[in-house]
Every structure is written in structure tokens, then in C-alpha cells.
Structure 1
Amino acid sequence: MNFVLILSGLVLLIILWLVIDFRLGRRKHLSAASKMETNILHGSFEIFTHGKELFHDYFQEIREAKRHIHVLFYIVKDDAISQEFFTLLKEKAREGVEVRLLLDRLGSWKVKRAAVTALKEAGAQFAFSNRIKLPFLFYSAQVRNHRKISIIDGKIGYLGGYNIGKEYIDEDSSLSPWRDYHLKITGESVNSLQSEFLIDWNEYAGENLQDHHVYFPEPALKGAVRHQFLPTEAGQLEKNFIRLIQKAEHSIMIGTPYFIPSAAIFTELQEARRRGVSITIIVPFTADHLLVQEASFRYLRQLLKMGAAVYQYKNGFYHAKTIVIDDNICDIGTANFDQRSLFLNKEINCYIYDPDFIGRLKDIIEKDILDSEQLTLAALNKPNTLRTTKETIARAIAYFL
């Protein structure tokens, strides 16, 4: 009996510590986070939807870099493509090109100390972002730097959903082919991506380089695509998504690997449906994480009742992150449509206001819908004890999925 009482007391103390740690950590994070978004910018855009094509282009631009290569990723694995990536960076550093690499500490946990040492010995500069640290160990373990941006010579930028690992180039049989959206950007807005990288570099590497004009060259061409970047953290993304949804007059299209909206966002989606806005959602048929699919079902079930269309992508794994509002605005970035991206992660999204680009994106989405199976309310309501159990568990921990 004494043992049970002691064990129960320890469990309660741990739970109390986790709650206090998380609440105080979040309060500190909220007080420190500053709202940032760029003005309307102009640039030129390419969109990649296949990893092999993206990384062929990306690695070639790295090979041709003359002055500096600045890279921030959430995940870099320890596999063949990751080693090729590190080899390229080391080669460029030995050539005298400035290389700075910033990786999320937990997302890139497979990166070995030897690989970091080799990068530094070659002359590259390296830092981990978002380390787990005191005094809020649990909260800091939850807040990840989920941004994926690269800037090459201050002239070319990349932003989107791809990380570096074999699954992203269709070499993981369980998740192949991998479907994602990633932007290649040229024009004046590359300077804004550069600035965002340097803000994160200063925070985690302790080096302030914002006043170094060499990183901000005058763009050769301005570009025609109107857009802006919105870096977010600590709950800022929720308000951005709500504003997007409120702008919709005719249609909302959402592509996401994880559909776990906040209560406020879900209310806005329901309100949009009530005023006659069509809602189309694309999610994966096959999940890559435990319980994320079950966490989405309670939201999808209600939207289906209201006449929304939901498609489960079946030609591999769907990891794209996009929102299209009417034919006026599209959002492509690093943020998922889930509560982790909304409230915990550092993210960066690009809002694009160009009709031609939005038309191209909608063509891509329509192709993805053709590679999907429409989810029905009857399928979700069919009795399934295991699924119901998973939904119950997922609902309790949806914030952290």
C-alpha cells in the first residue's frame, strides 16, 4: 500500500511539473515573440512537387554558389542523400564560399557529432536551433524550428515542405512517392528570406549579421509575382489562418498532411461553409505518424455533414502545405494545418496574390485530387472499435501531435 501511495504521489508530481513547466514556458515564449510579416514583394517563382527534381535543382545551385550558402532545415537524416548534402557543403566551404547551416535539434537528431565536426573542419559554420534547455525542459522540447529555407548568394531562395532524407526522394517504400510543394524564388523577396535566416542565426548561433550588406544584393530582376512572407511562432499562425478563411467568398482549398485545426479556426471554417463557401480538403490516405489521422476524423466528420469535400491522397504520401482562397490568395509554406504548427512551431509561409501562379497551383491540386479517393461520411461513421479508441486518445493529445 505504501509503495502504491508513493508511486501515485510521484506520478502526480510529474504531471504537476509538466503542467507548470509548459504553462510558464509558453507564457515566456508569448512575451518574447514579435509579430513579423513583410510588405508586398515581387519575385519570380518555380514550384516543385517531386523531391528528385527539387534536389537536382537545389544541389546544382549549391554547386554554382560563389559567395554564401545559408540553410535552415527542420530535418536532415543520416542517409545517402543527407551525406551528399553534407559533402556538397564541405566542398563549397573549402572553395571559400561562406556556408552556414542551422538545423533543429530534435528534428535533425540523427545528425552525428562526427558529421558536424567534419563540416566545421571544412570551414562551414553550424548551429542547432531550439535545443532542450532549462528552466522549461518540457516546453522547450515541444517548440521546434519547422522552417525550411535556403538562400544562395542572396539571389536564390527556397521555401516549402521538403526536408533532406531518403523518403523525400521516394526511397522509402512505405511513403513513396512523396508529394510535397516547394518554392524556388528569385527577385527582391530573397532579401526577406535572407533576413529571416539571419534572425534565427543570431538567436541560436549568437552572431548578429543583419548589418552585413553583402548578404543583401540588389536583385537583377524584380519579378512579377506579388507575395509576402509571414514568419510565425507562439500562436501567431492561428490569427493568420483565420484572416485567410474570413476572406473567402467562393471557395477554400486546403492541402495538409495533418488536419487538426484549433477551435477558433474550425469555427471559422464552419461559418464559411454556412455562408456558402465550398470547402475542399486533401489529406493523406496513409499516415506517417501515430494518431494524427484519427485526430482529424472528428473535424472531417463535421465538415462532411456540412457538405465539404474531403479527399485522401493515395499515390504515395501527401505532405504538401497549402491554402487557396477563391482565385485571389494562395498560401504555400512550412506550416501544417495542425495545432503543433499553430501554437508551438516556428514556421514561415508565403502568401501569393498572382492569378497566373494561383492557376498553376490549382492545376496541381486538381491533379492531386485525381490521385485521391473521396472520403465519405458513411465510411467515417462505420462502427470500428479500434478507430474509436484511437480517436479518443488522439483528442486528448491533439495539441502535441
Structure 2
Amino acid sequence: MTGQVLVDSEAFKERFEHLAAKAKKSIYLQAMSFEGDSVGEWLIDTLIASPAEDIQLCLDSYSKFVINDQFIYSTAYLKDETFRAEVKNTSAIIKKARKNGIKVKYTNPLGFLFLQYPHRNHKKMVLIDEEIAFIGGLNFCEHNFEWHDMMVEMNSTAMNQSLSNDFHRSVAENDQSTVDELGDTKMYYLDGYRSKNIYKDIFRNIDEAKESIRIFSPYVSDPLLTYTRTHKAESVRLDIISPGINNKNVFKAILSNELMKGYFNFYEYQGRMSHLKAILIDDKKLICGSSNFDFISYYFEEEVVMITENQEIVQDFINKISKPDIANSLLKKSLGDTRSYVVPLLFAGISKLCHIVATIISVKYLFRKSDV
């Protein structure tokens, strides 16, 4: 397998346009968020222009209800004409896509009274013909394209087939919780708390670290934080790189309290929001994909995670992400006055609630499958 790391949206956009224009058989694309702004319009126009015979777009139903991080059924919709126009345009360009032969599927309905809201399909992947695959963190909306992020390109028939199988299962809403072994790379297809035993396999890589662990994520939290604190060897250096500008400041508060425990070095990424998610172990092994390594992903969300020892990809990540991001970060000893007892107690309560809700969802899932 050969591959490369594409840093930020412009690099991916240029590469995708080039490949889509040459595609012959298929383009399969999956994301959680899709919006009727300039990025959404660009994507649909690029897909319509492609000569590929089979083009499919798989989106989470989240995009039917949340646009630009705002709930559609809110006062913002009534007050903001620009917001209303974007909501309407999202629907319009989806209709345009379908009219031009693109198959669009929304998965994971929110259910009665939005009771299924936590269970999202958070995967991001792009598959072109039978040889090229991308995974990473990009959603198709302007604010996500403005953030620091990455997509990993892989040129491999086996990788494409593995991801294609998962894509079609998502379209069929037949969620899987499995692992594919592909030589020097493993693909993990996760379905929230149903995949807790598979997560143990991912976390075991922490135990095996000999020199260093670097975690890149805006939303890193438990169970990864506690597992890392209690399982990594004392001699192993742990660096956490997370943005100073964060669209979900509760996670910054969590890291602030954890920093006082003294088991990691905190690098605050400067300048803009970073949506990038990856774990680099000993500069030899890379864990990356759609998971933010937070409690929401662990308990509720469908994710795709790759663990690879492919040195071409690992070294590309080091050169394009790890070294530049740390150089663009401030090493912080503290994050201000963070000696708060409220945050850890609140977080413990939220984690317990997530555990209860996820258990109920898992039981309902088992019953639903038994009826099929």
C-alpha cells in the first residue's frame, strides 16, 4: 500500500477534483455533516461533472437538523435570513444531486422526540474506483473546511474493498463492529459502546509504547485519558496537542484539570481550530480516522479508525503534521485558574449518564437485530 497525508481542505480539494475527473466506475463518499454553502455546492458540482458510473453519497441525518452548528428548529432560523437560505439550499442541492443520478442516503434517523440523537454515524471516507481510498476528519461544510484537518490517501485495492464493504453496510444501515487486518495496517469499524471490546484492542497500543505518545485531538477525554494515565510506562513521554481555539470549550476545561495531574505535556495549537485526530506512537505507528478519542465517540458513534505501521504514511504524518503542529503550538504548564472541582464532578456525571444511555441503546440494538 502506498499513501500520503493531505493537510487541510485545499490539498484534499485539489486532489479530489483531479481524481473525480478521471474516475470511471465509482465514487462513494461518506460524511457526518453536509451543508448547502459553497463547499456543499462545490462537492455536488464536482460529483455531477465526474464520468464515474456509480456515485453515492452517504450522510448522517444530523445534517437534516443541524446546519452551521445551529439547530434548524430554533429561534436562529426565524431571526437569521442567511441561515434560512443555507438550510433551504442544503435541501435544494441534494435534490439537484439526485436529479443528476447521484444516490443520496441519509442514515441514523434521530427517531421519535430525537431519542436516537446520540447515535450518529461519524465516519468520513471517500472511495474512488477500486483502488483509491481516503479517511480522515473532513466534513463538507465551510466551517469544517476552514479548520486545520487532514485526510489520508491510500492506494490499495484491499483497503478500498474493506472501506467499500463498510460504506455499503452503512447505506444499508447494517452497522458493523469488526476489525480487518490488511498487512501492516488494521481497520477498525466501531459502533459506539457495542465495540467496547474492540476499543480495548486499540488502547493496548498505549501499553506497547516504548518512548513517546502524541495525541492530536480537540475533544480528547475519557476513557482514553484515564487509560493512558494508568497504563503507559512511566518513562514514556506523553504529549497532547489540542487547539486553543476550540468550538467545544468543555473539552478544554477537562484537559485543564487533567494537566494539573502532571502526567502529560500540553501543547496548545495556535491560530485556529484544529479538528485533526490522530495518535502517534514511538514515531512508528499511527492511529487515525474519524474518532476524536472522546467519550461521545466511545459510547455512541459509528467510527472508522486505522492503525498503521506503513512507514510511508507514518513519516508523511510526522513531516506534515506532527513536527509543524508542535512548532505552531505553545507548551503550557497550566491553562489559567483551573483549580475547579466542578468540572471533574460534572464530567464524571456526564460519563455515567452516557454509560447508561449507551447500554440502553445497545440492548435495543440487539433486540432489533434479533427481529430481522
User: Normalised by the shorter chain, which TM-score bucket?
Assistant: 0.7 to 0.9
Q: The residue matched to 2:62 in structure 1 has which SS?
A: coil
* Paired-residue identity, %: 19
SS, match of residue 143 in structure 2:
helix
Q: Deviations over 1:272-311 (max 9, x none)?
A: 4553211011001111125232233233332xx23x2110
Match of 2:247 among 285, 288, 294: 288
Answering whether residue 332 of structure 2 is matched by residue 375 of structure 1, we say yes
Pairing partner for 1:67 from 25, 34, 39: 25
Corresponding residue to 1:355 among 303, 311, 331: 311
Q: Distance in 1 between matches of 2:316 and 2:132?
A: 21
- Describe the shift of the 1:260–1:267 C-alpha distance in structure 2 as closer, same or farther (beyond 3 A): closer
Is this contact kept in 2: 1:313–1:371, CA < 8 A?
A: yes
Provide Cα deviations, 1:202-234, integer angstroms capped at 9, x if missing partner: 227x9xxxxxxxxxxxxxxxx9x8312111112
Structure 1: distance between partners of 2:13 and 2:64 = 18
What is the SS of the residue equivalent to 1:150?
strand
Contact 2:239 2:265 in 1 (8 A): yes
Give CA deviations for 1:8-54 in whole Å, capped at 9, x if unaligned.
Answer: xxxxxxxxxxxxxxxxxxxxxxxxxxxxxxxxxxx111101121111
Contact 1:75 1:108 in 2 (8 A): no
Q: Which amino acid aligns with 1:56?
A: E
C-alpha spacing 1:257/1:107, structure 2 compared with 1 (3 Å): farther
Match in the other structure for 1:57: 15
C-alpha contact 2:219 2:248 (8 A) present in aligned 1: no
- Matched residue, 2:72: none
2:199 maps to 238
Instruction: Quote the offset at 1:266 in angstroms.
Output: 3.3
Distance across 1 between alignment mates of 2:249 and 2:239: 24
Q: Secondary structure at the match of 1:258?
A: coil
CA contact (8 A) 1:73 1:149 kept: yes
Q: Residue 142 and residue 190 in structure 1: after superposition, are their counterparts in 2 closer, same or farther (change >3 A)?
A: same
Calculate the TM-score normalised by the size of structure 1. 0.73
Name the CA shift for 1:301/1:65 in 2 (closer, same or farther; >3 Å).
same
TM-score of the superposition, structure 2-length normalised? 0.78
- Cα distance in 2 for partners of 1:380, 1:392 equals 19
Q: Distance in 2 between matches of 1:53 and 1:338?
A: 27
In the TM superposition, residue 118 of structure 1 has moved relative to its aligned partner by: 1.8
1:397 matched residue in structure 2: 350
- With over 3 angstroms needed to count, the CA separation of the structure-2 counterparts of 1:96 and 1:319, relative to structure 1, is closer
1:195 paired with 2:189, answer no
1:120 is matched with: 98
> Could you tell me which of 282, 299, 306 is aligned with 1:343?
299
User: In the alignment, what sits opposite 2:121?
Assistant: 145
2:258 maps to 299
Q: Which residue of 2 aligns with 1:186?
A: 155
Structure 1 runs (4+) greater than 6 angstroms displaced: none
Q: Could you tell me how far apart the structure 1 residues matched to 2:145 and 2:190 are?
A: 28
Which digits, 9 at most, give the CA deviation of each residue in 1:98-135, with x for residues without a partner?
A: 1111101114644633322222211111110111125x
Output the CA distance in 2 between the equivalents of 1:49 and 1:70: 21
Give distance in 1, aligned partners of 2:249 and 2:108. 23
The CA deviation string for residues 335-389 of structure 1, in whole angstroms up to 9 with x for no partner, is: 0020011111100011111234323322321210110111213x44566xxx776
SS at match of 2:173: helix
Shift of 1:327: 3.3
SS of 1:167's equivalent in the other structure is: helix
Correspondence list, 1:145-164, <5 A: 145-164=121-140
Q: 1:273 to 1:351 in 2, by over 3 A?
A: closer
Alpha-carbon spacing, 1:201–1:247, altered in 2? closer, same or farther (3 Å):
same
- Secondary structure in 2 aligned to 1:147? coil
CA distance in structure 1 between the partners assigned to 2:216 and 2:315 by the alignment:
15
RMSD: 2.6
DSSP 3-state at the match of 1:336: coil
Quick one: which of 35, 38, 61 aligns to 1:80?
Answer: 38
AA aligned opposite 2:280: V
Amino acid at match of 2:199: E
Q: Secondary structure at the match of 2:204?
A: helix
Q: 1:77-117, CA deviations, whole angstroms, 9 ceiling, x for partnerless residues?
A: 2211211111222333xx57211111011146446333222
Aligned mates of 1:290, 1:271 — CA distance in 2: 25
Structure 1 residue 245: Cα displacement: 1.0
User: How far apart are 1:396 and its partner, in Å?
Assistant: 3.8
**Cα distance in 2, alignment partners of residues 143 and 115 from structure 1:** 26
Contact (CA 8 Å) 1:291, 1:391: kept in 2 or not?
no
Q: Give 1:238 deviation, angstroms.
A: 3.3
Aligned length: 320
Do residues 247 (structure 1) and 247 (structure 2) align?
Answer: no
The CA distance in 2 between the partners of 1:195 and 1:243, in whole Å, is 26
Residue type matched to 1:287 in 2? N
